[in-house]
Amino acid sequence: MNDVNKTTSRHPGRSLLLLGVLLAVAGPVLMIMLMFAAKILVAPWYAPLLGTLGVALIILALLRSRSIWRWTAVVIFTLFVGFQWWALLAMRTPAYTGPVKDGQPFPAFATTLADGSTFTQDELKGDQNTVMVFYRGHW
């Protein structure tokens, strides 16, 4: 029992540090598993939330015992989680505010397809209603 108390008092906050690092890394790992392996494509809001909780635990561990390794962990994981927040918030697709409205005629256009052939609004005419969606993407 004395050995356990000596180890705990020698390294206070070690379990908080390890749990914090685990949570900070768990978000991106979970994101990769869901987005690529399970093919569930949703905004990965859980990654920066778990990372923020992890950084908070690492800071608590730092407050219990200050060392260069814990300061380094705070800096590295704060930058890592900050990048996750930036990626989530800054890279989202803006809301569509274009001129196309439901029930309005489609504006005249002409374009070239990937195979080199031309495509105009006349090719959209027919017996059925037609909807064209232009997704510009946002990187």
What whole-number distance in Å separates Cα of residue 43 and Cα of residue 46?
A: 8
User: When comparing pLDDT for 124 and 46, which is higher?
Assistant: 46
Is residue 6 scored above 60 in pLDDT? no
What pLDDT is stored for residue 97 in this prediction? 72
- Range picked from 22-26, 108-112, 128-132 for highest mean pLDDT: 22-26
Structure tokens at 99: 């001129």
- Mean pLDDT of all residues in 25-34: 89
- Mean pLDDT of all residues in 71-84: 95
What pLDDT is stored for residue 77 in this prediction? 96
Give CA separation, 40 vs 36, 50, 67, 75, 118, in Å: 7, 18, 40, 31, 36
**61 C-beta neighbours (distance < 10 Å), count:** 25
3-state class (DSSP) for residue 112: strand
What pLDDT is stored for residue 40 in this prediction? 74
Is residue 138 scored above 70 in pLDDT? no
Q: What is the distance of C-alpha 35 from the center of its chain?
A: 10
